[in-house]
Amino acid sequence: MQLGTKGRYAVTALLRLHDALKLQQVVPLSYISETENISITYLEQLFTKLRKAGVVNSVRGQSGGYVLARQAAFINIAEIIMAAEENILFTRCGAAEHAACTKTGMLCKTHNLWEELTNHVYGFLSSITLEDLALGKIPKTVMPGWAQHKQVIND
């Protein structure tokens, strides 16, 4: 699974919104667009989803824009990604519904592996808030052998 632009841009835009709110009360999408090089049209689509999910509030008017709906310490990264309608499932089937993976209607032999990976990723993203991200408080996980494997991939 590779996180798509919806989830990445939503997190990036909300981080920029969080930082800008320290300087002003309402942040226009044009500011985020200019500073992050994300098209206004794309941001409008994302922020409509984020507003419907209760992550941001919109402020109308000439000096309108967006504000966080809650304190950044109470908005987690998984919530942002899911609000942007990004898929974080590693299974091919509907893991939440325990739908069948195979043509025979059974779960495939690797289903539990991918479902548990989904649970780990979701748990990790849920454990990090927008405030954590703004403060650079991302837990570093040491995976034995991963650094060596990563080096082989990059060579």
What pLDDT was estimated at residue 107?
75
Model pTM score: 0.81
List of long-range contacts for 16-21, beta carbons under 8 Å, 24+ apart: 17/56, 17/66, 17/67, 17/68, 18/68, 18/72, 18/130, 18/131, 18/134, 19/134, 21/67, 21/68
Q: How far apart are CA 23 and CA 27, in angstroms?
A: 9
Q: Which residues of the chain have pLDDT under 70?
A: 1-2, 92-103, 142-155
Q: What is the pLDDT of residue 139?
A: 77
Domain ranges of the chain: 5-154
Domain 5-154 has what CATH class?
mainly alpha
Q: What is the pLDDT of residues 88-108, one digit of tens each?
A: 777 766 544 556 666 677 777
